[in-house]
Structure formats: C-alpha cells, structure tokens
Chains A and B, each alone.
Chain A
C-alpha cells in the first residue's frame, strides 16, 4: 500500500519549526512509517522539480512554516497549495507573521539605510546593493523580489488548519499529523491546539490571586523573580491569560514570563489588543497620574504585545505602506 504523501516547507523563518519536527524523536521514525515525506529541504534532497512533477492534490498535506515576503516564497507556497489536499500554517510566523513580522514597523528606506549605509562593519565605501538582476561576466543572475512588508501564509494562499507556537510543541505536531493521515479532519480553519488560556496549564496557576491587581510593572532584569509565585502577581508582564495553551508553560517553568507565541484563543481578532486590554485591566490605579505612571512602565508596547502577531493584527504595518506585493487585500 502506498503511504500518504506529505511535504514540509519553510519561508521567512528560522529553521526552528524544522527542529520541532526532529524533536518528535522516536515518533519521527514512527511518522515515516505512516507517511512518505516527499519534500523537506532541511533534511531531504528532493528539489523543486520533484514537487512540480507531482499530480495536483497528490499530497495529503503540506506543513508550511515562515512568513511570506518574497516572490519566490509566493511561488513555492502556491505550488504546494496546488499539490496538496490540506495546507497547515505551521508555527507562529506562518500563522501570525512571527518575530520577522516586526520588520513591518519600519519602512523600506530606513531598513536599507541601516543595513547598507550605516552598518559600521561595512567596507568603505559601501556602494553595492543586492539587485533583482545582475550582469556577471558569465551571464545573468537574478534574485527574488522582496515585498514591502511581511505577510502571513493565509494572506497569500488558502489555509486549512493552523498550528501555532514558536515553535509548535512536538506533542501537537504529532497529534495533527496523525489526525490528517487517519482522515480525522477537523473543521476547516481549525487551530490544532487547546482552546483555553495558558494559565490553565501553568505550574504557578495555584499562586495566581483570585483578584489580581498590579501596582507596579517590572522588567525581568530589574529584580530576582520568585520562581514559585505567579509572575504576573510579581509585576512581570506575563501574557499567559491572553495566550492559547499547548506549550506546557515551559518559559514560565524557566522563571521567565509568557511572551505570547501561541497566539490567541478562538474568537479573538487581534491578539495584541486583547493582551494589552487584559494587562490594562489589572492596573491598580486610583487616578490619572497612576495610570500614566503604570503605562510608562510598559516601555515597548508593540514589542511586548505584538511580538509574534504584527502582520496578522489590525495594525499590520506602518500607515501608507503597500501590503506585501501590492496584490494582498
């Protein structure tokens, strides 16, 4: 019997999602007895032409990680979409834009200037830039076009399922893979992770006060946090209450607050706005002066609340910039 075929691919990402698949450990061997992985550039030598040679819909599923920002990535994900019965947006970057999505805070000129004009390590004079087309002695070389902003996967192609996390927890990867292979298909658009807030699985949840009120926000380096006590109750901005469970709260077990990589639970349109309003509701403030003081303690609201989700947010990017390649709605 031929095994169902699947593909793994990466766009603007770090390779951590690939490591998360390898973190299946012994289950990785079990997985390869269940499915035939026909494309996975980090680990297998199949090339683009091998994907092009597949029939449309021949893949049971493609697991695509990374945000999308180049014409080449757009071509690859469109190709994989055509060849796949189901596409899973895999990891925070594909689902929400991820940390590379923070690039949407800056316009193209500012970025170019930083990298090609101002970096102190550049050779002098710094006059060369990478270009779309280059004439070299032997012929022509081209590079993919880079879009003006970072997009999520479902900005670019139709996505069936979402598996969040930076990176997705191996336990959830295994559950998703088994469900798809066995034809236990969830409802289209489903997020393949528990639909409850992280506090429900936090090892410190018993120490979270019934009525939590924060009289002063503190930063992790400013004091020695007690590893046995709810971090939010100690004044650290822990986003557990606004964030989907599924990671087993490993960061909090490491005595550092949740930064929200699993994204929101269902029915939340804008994760950052939800997280911000949740934190704001905890302020112990008697008057405007208190509110001003507490607000000033959150020194980087965008980097704190939208760290993984700027491209998927209502804000999305700087005002006036073209979205993606200009064809994205």
Chain B
C-alpha cells in the first residue's frame, strides 16, 4: 500500500524532498516519512583531484551555503599542509564568513521560512513567498531587504572573489589582500547589516511574538522534541562560526562533552535507512535508538537554536541582549521548540553583523601579508565550521603530490536529519485528524522541517549510483554467514 497523502515536492528549502503520510483506519496519522530522493557524488569524485581545488569543488555541494563548504575545505587544507595562516588571512576569511552568515540567515527569514510567519501559515499558497512578504511589510521594507542582500553579496564578491562559489580560500590563507576600498565597503555594509539585524528582530517581535496564536504554535508539543544539541563554541563557550571546539549538551541543557573537530569520528556516526538517501547522524556514545527523542536517544540538533542552547552567550553586545531576551521569553535554557529556530536565526544574524563591524574596524585586516605558502608534505587534514545550517566537517587525505585519496564529509543538515524526520512525523500526527488535510494544514507540516532551513543538496552530497539490494545473513553472534545481492 502506498501513502495516503503525498506532498511533492516539498518547497521553500534547498534541494529535493517529499513527504509521504500513511493514515490509520480512523483517519489519524500512522506515520509520516520525509524522503530525500536525490543524490550526487562528492566523496568519490573528490579522489584524484588537486587538494587546493577542494574549496571550489565542494562549494558545489550547495549553492546556498557555498561559503560554508569553501571555508571548511580551506581549513581542512590548512591542516592537510600543517600551515598556519597569518592573522590577516584568518580575519579576511572570517569577515567574508560573517557577511555570508548575515546574508544567508536573511535569505531564510525573508524568502524561505519567513513567509510562513510574515504572511501566515494558512495564507493562499500563491502568496506564501517573498512577494507576499513584500506585500505584508511594504514595498520600502521589501526594497531594503533586497538592497541589503545586494550590498552583502557585492562585499562577498570583493573579498572572496565570487559570492556564488568563492575562490579566495587557499591552504595558509587567502588569495588576495584587501584594498582600502574593500575595507571601507566592509564597514559600510556592516553598519547597514547591524541596523537590518535589529530591524528583523523588531519585526519578529511585532508580527510573531505579539500574536498569541503564533506564540502558542511555537510552544506547542506538535513542534517540540527534547534532544541533545551540538554547536561550535569559543574559549569562553560563546557561539562561534569560524573556529572553536564542538560542544554537546544533554536534553536538560547540561554539558555532555566538548571536543576538537579533529576527533569527530570518536563522537559522531551515521545511520542509514532504506527509504531515504539522506544519512542520519547520531551521537556515538549514546547510540542509535530509532526515531525517538530524550536522553537515551543519540539524535541531536544543530544550527541556530542548538548553537544558542550549547553556548553560554554571544560574543557581541547586542546579540547577547537578544540571546537573553529569547531565553527569558521562552522559559529558560534549553529551548526545544522547533519553530523558535526562526528567532534564534535572527539573534545569530545580528551577531554576524556585529562581528563584521568588529573585523572591518580591525587595522590588521589591511595587512598585505595574507597567506603563508605551505612547505610540508600533505597527508591528512580535518576542517570544521558552523554552517548556517549546522556543524560542517571536511576530512581529507592526500598523496605526497597533494592529490586527494580520501574524503569524508559530515554536513550540516545531515546532523539535523533525524530530528527533522521526527518533526515532520510529529507535526503530521498532531495536525491531521479524520483523514482531512487542506493546503494550509499541509503547509503547517512543511513548517516543521522548514524552520531548520534544511539543505537537502548538502545532505545528499555523497551517494550517486544505483541502489543495490543486499541481504546479509548473520548468526546470533552477528557473524556473517552469507550475502545475497541484487544490483
């Protein structure tokens, strides 16, 4: 029997997906599955490529977060060649990265996920989009949204060589120093971005928080799971994007562990289901215990709300105020309400803007020494960043000529995959009764994944080819007795 209700394709996200909902005889939901039907092939075809090309090749995993892959790859190359960039190299990278963070979070709030909040979950589907947002907030605000984005993208082009698939990352630093004009444009863009970040938070307060129905929806059980959370933190355990340790907290908010990204294999593993191409990451020390939440389940969350949950605060003053407001409004840390990710995203957007301003004002950023030429023989490197959509790890090995022999990637959305699957299923169960589901109700189910800003392109970077059928026959001790395979 095939599914009773199918949403195909799911929309306002990056990449492909569909939701299949099975009903029980009473018309309630038996189970809802989010399936990812597409895959490509990066880990395999990385083999044989020049290591220094990885930042540009892996950015094609995702054109929405190309800077995240570019940066994780570049940091993996630093490690591969054991080369330390000069201070300006790090700071120029972080300036571009912060700019990207602001732009990418703004894109989600106004173009992808935000229409559900700013236009409304049950608005006609032809209006639940950026054009509906422009109608709702006014043309002047709409033009500012577009204008800020244009300015941020122009800055990324100036600093990173190209906004859509950057080129500036090389082992040991960046390809080009900044000009005085680049620095001035950075400062101007940062000022506008900070104001824009404050404006977006204010819009969230006025449109979402002032509406009791929205607040009830955010706080409802239909959109809540008590899971572990993971994110990058600085030495003071504040939210970090470009560099830091990875910290994991338990569902009750207490620390579970903190580790350097190079030890990711000790702590993170991937589970495979036969009905989706997406792999589901889980905490190795807790284990895979099926699609359940709680302290016994290795399922964890990443991305904006998870980062706020794992950290002790934000490293910039206005973002810190916004962080405190979020937790005091939603009942303290940790917050497990999926729809509150929208709010956390805006807190981070303000942080990114403030960090841009700090870096633009740092005289070091104009230092012409931006790269250390590597001299070591390349062998193995691991690099990690916080992508807008969560923790991202690139792991490479190469031969002595610097040709890649092995690549393994743990991508942002994959970390969230199991929790997203939980969210879609739980929302469907909570919302569908008597077998009835209109467009607005199905959209409320889509809102359960959309809040994560998932990138299915990233999540399915790894698996091209035809799926085989493989049956393994094992004895009660797990020893392999035989194998039946159909390719």
Q: Do A and B come from one complex?
A: yes
B374 within 8 A of A: yes
Provide the bound-state CA to CA distance between A219 and B54, in Å.
13
Is there an interface contact between B443 and A45, defined as CB atoms closer than 8 Å?
Answer: yes
Q: Is the CB of B288 within 8 A of A254?
A: no
**B31 and chain A: residue at smallest CB distance:** A138
B residues 311-355 in Cβ contact with A at 8 Å: none
Q: Which of B2, B63, B125, B162 lies at the interface centre, i.e. has the most chain A CB atoms within 10 A of its CB?
A: B63
Q: Is A251 an interface residue (CB 8 A)?
A: yes
- Report B-chain residues with C-beta under 8 Å of the C-beta of A185: none
- Contact between A221 and B22 (Cβ–Cβ < 8 Å)? no
Residues of the A chain whose Cβ atoms lie less than 8 Å from the Cβ of B171: 221
**Residue of A99, A127, A137 touching B470 (CB-CB under 8 A):** A127
Taking beta carbons and an 8 Å cutoff, which residues of B are in contact with A? 1-3, 7-16, 20, 22, 30-31, 33, 35, 37-41, 43-45, 47-50, 52-53, 56-57, 59-64, 66, 77, 81, 107, 111-112, 125-126, 128-131, 134, 142-143, 146-147, 149-150, 153, 157, 160-168, 170-172, 175-176, 264-265, 268-277, 279, 281-282, 288, 371, 373-374, 401-403, 408, 410, 443, 455, 457, 462-470, 472, 478, 487
- 24 pairs, CB–CB < 8 Å, chain A vs chain B: A12-B38, A15-B14, A19-B64, A26-B146, A29-B143, A44-B125, A46-B126, A100-B41, A100-B464, A102-B41, A103-B45, A103-B464, A108-B464, A111-B463, A115-B44, A119-B270, A129-B272, A129-B470, A130-B467, A140-B2, A143-B467, A223-B373, A254-B162, A304-B50
Of all chain A residues, which has the CB nearest B456?
A15
Residue of B nearest to A298 (CB): B50
Q: Residue B175 contacts which of A109, A225, A304 (CB distance < 8 angstroms)?
A: A225
A194 CB within 8 Å of chain B: no
Provide the residues of chain A in CB contact with B43, threshold 8 Å.
Answer: 114-115, 119
Are B468 and A129 touching (Cβ within 8 A)? yes
Instruction: Considering the complex, give the chain A residue whose CB is closest to the CB of B49.
Output: A303
A16 contacts B175, CB within 8 Å?
no
> How distant is the Cα of A121 from the Cα of B279 in the complex, in angstroms?
11
Residues of A within 8 A of B38 (CB): 12, 70, 72-73, 144
- Give the residues in chain A near B164, CB-CB below 8 Å: 16, 19-20, 23, 167
Cross-interface CB contact of A146 among B1, B39, B270, B408, cutoff 8 Å = B39
* One of B41, B111, B125 near A22 (C-beta < 8 A): B111
B467 touches A131 (CB 8 A): yes
B-chain residues with CB within 8 Å of residue A243 when the two chains form the complex: none
Complex contact B167–A299 (CB within 8 A): no
Q: When chains A and B are docked, how far (Å) is the Cα of A325 from the Cα of B172?
A: 44
Contact of A128 among B12, B33, B273 (CB under 8 A): B273
Q: Which residue of B lies closest to A9 (CB)?
A: B9
Q: How far is the CB of A137 from chain B (nearest CB, A)?
A: 7
**Interface presence of A116 (CB below 8 A):** yes
Establish whether residues B9 and A47, one from each chain, have CB atoms under 8 Å apart when the complex forms: yes
In the bound complex, CA of A145 to CA of B157 (Å): 38
Query: Could you tell me if B175 and A29 are in contact, using CB atoms closer than 8 angstroms?
Result: no
In the complex, how many angstroms separate the beta carbon of B399 from the nearest chain A beta carbon? 10
**Least Cβ–Cβ distance between B325 and chain A, in angstroms:** 30
Query: Which of chain B's residues has its CB closest to A122's CB?
Result: B270
Which residues of the other chain, B, contact A254 by a CB distance below 8 angstroms? Answer: 160-162, 166-168, 175-176
With contact pairs A102-B45, A143-B275, A222-B373 given, residues A46 and B464 touching in the complex (Cβ less than 8 Å): no
* Contact residues of A between 249 and 277, Cβ < 8 Å to B: 250-251, 253-256, 259
- Are the C-beta atoms of B374 and A299 separated by less than 8 Å? no
Q: Which residues of B contact A127 (CB under 8 A)?
A: 470, 472
Instruction: List the B side residues contacting A223 at CB < 8 Å.
Output: 373
Kindly state whether residue A132 has any CB partner on chain B within 8 Å. Answer: yes
User: What distance in Å separates the Cβ of A116 from its nearest Cβ neighbour in chain B?
Assistant: 7
Q: Which of B9, B45, B276 contacts A130 (CB 8 A)?
A: B276
